Amino acid sequence: MKLATHMTFAAAALLAAAATGSAQTMTAEIPFAFYAGNTLMAPGSYQVHVARTSGSTLYLNMLNQDNHRRIIVLPTTVEQPRGEVRENAVLTFRRTGDRYELAQIWDGSVQLLSFRLRRAPADATLALVVMKPDRGE
C-alpha cells in the first residue's frame, strides 16, 4: 500500500513538472498587497508562470520571491484576442479603495486569462504591472 502511495505521488510530481516545463516564467514587481481569488498576497517580487495541467487546463502559478508564498489560480475565462500584440506581458489589477484584486494576465502575444472578481463598485480603477522575462531560467 505504501509503495502504491509513493508511486502515485511520484507520478503526480512528474506530471506537474511536465505540465509546467513549457511555458515561460516572468517576473513582476508588485508594489501593493492584492487578492488572487480569496487569498491575500503580500507586495513583492513575483515569479509568474502560466502553465497547463496534463488535461490541458491553463492555470496561473505565482511565487512571492521575498516570503516564498505560492498561489495557483484557475482563470474563469481564456481568450485569444485577434490583432492585439503588446510589447510586454502585463498583470491587471482592479483597485477599489485600498483593495487590489488580480483581474487578468496578458502574456504579450496570444493569451488573455481573466479571474473571478467581486462585484465592481462604480469607483473601481485599474492598475497595471508590466512583467519581464525571468533571468533565472
DSSP 40: E
In tens, the pLDDT along 1-49 reads 444 443 333 333 333 433 434 467 899 999 999 999 899 999 999 999 9
Beta bridge partners of 114: 77, 104
Distance CA 41, CA 37 (A): 10
Here the cell at position 106 is 496578458
Distance CA 48, CA 112 (A): 14
Q: What is the residue whose three cell numbers read 491553463?
A: 58
Burial of residue 113, with CB atoms counted within 10 A of its CB: 0-12 exposed, 13-18 middle, 19 or more buried? buried
Q: What is the residue whose three cell numbers read 520571491?
A: 65
pLDDT at 55: 81
High-pLDDT (> 90) share of the chain, %: 45
Distance CA 81, CA 30 (A): 25
pLDDT averaged over the chain?
79
The more confident residue out of 83 and 48 is 48
Burial of residue 60, with CB atoms counted within 10 A of its CB: 0-12 exposed, 13-18 middle, 19 or more buried? buried
pLDDT at 1: 46
pLDDT at 81: 64
